[in-house]
Amino acid sequence: MRLLRKILYPVSLIYAVVVFIRNYFYDIGLFESKTFKTPTICIGNLSVGGTGKTPMAELLIALLQDTYKVALLSRGYRRQSKGFILADETSTVTILGDEPYQIFSKFKAVVVAVDADRENGIRTLEKRVCPDVIVLDDAYQHRKVTYGFSILLTAYGNLYSDDLYLPTGDLRDNKREAHRATIIVVTKCPPALSQMQQQRIIERLRPEPRQQVLFSRLTYDPYIKSGSNEIRIDDLKQKKLTLVTGIANPKPLVTYLEKIGLTFNHLRFNDHHSFTENEIKNLRKNQPVLTTEKDYVRLKGKVDKLYYVSIKHQFLNDGRKIFEDSLKKFMKLDS
């Protein structure tokens, strides 16, 4: 696979030219970027793959939902529906997509909608819901909308500054587009990342003077859940588990589970994998099954002994305060 990606380097150059021209047309106004009256907060990245967008969306929602009427708008990747869909009690994971359905299941006070056309999605939410703020998941590269507050995520060990364009690398947008972000968050950092190491990363990212670069790590809930039930993850140490992951980068989770002493057989699938009936039958033979929260919503009701590990972002140093202060400032400016 690595050799093939290297062979396809000329394709990456063509892709880079197309991306550059597209962004240039937006920069000079040849392509229009719409601004809406409702405050918009965009979460995204410049590279494909897991940087922790959904946990960041959940963090934002948790900070905003007690004060504001929050709507989340997502593309609904790999959903079996089209156009604008507003989540309700009849919605399923196949209609919304795994990540929007996960958020809809957890945050009952939050409006969740899916639409591949972000401009249409925002306009429809304004007409039908009138939210105080709209959070847009995985929308950084969609320039048809000018977002009020943008959070750009990049994973430690796979910084966009060091990446190459698809298909040779994972970069899907020009590195220079990082200048549009309000805040840059380096995710999945080691807990003991020193100030000197953080400074070196900042130098590699070369942020604008107005931009804050924050650092976060993933933390795992010591309790694993299955519906309304939960048990301590340590209680599984004497059991042989099947770990199922359909996410872009399961390595941090695998490392964590190995570190706490769990024994498991890891079945790795592609991101947003749709499980076949034969795969589900195989999982039923290899219970209990431990999985991610995103995979849980796709396997729920199909495997009896199914548990998920939930994750959160934890900022290093005083990053949490800086993040919250920036968010409060933005909401006051747009209130």
Q: Is 50 annotated as a binding residue?
A: yes
Q: Do the annotations mark residue 47 as ligand-binding?
A: yes
Neighbouring-strand partners of residue 225: 230, 308
The DSSP output letter for 154 is E
Residue 49 counted as an annotated binding residue: yes
Distance (Å, rounded) from C-alpha 218 to C-alpha 221? 10
51 marked among binding-site residues: yes
Residue-wise over 285-323: b if at least 16 C-beta within 10 A, else e? Answer: eeebbbbbbbbbbbbbeebeebbbbbbbbbbbeebbeeb
Residue located via tokens 């020009």 = 174
CB 311 within 8 A of CB 219: yes
94 is in an annotated binding site: no
Task: Tell whether residue 52 is among the known ligand binding residues.
Answer: yes
The Cα-based distances of 160 to 46, 54, 149, 205, 259 in angstroms read 6, 19, 20, 8, 28
Give the residue ranges of the annotated binding site for ATP: 47-54
Give the residue ranges of the annotated binding site: 47-54
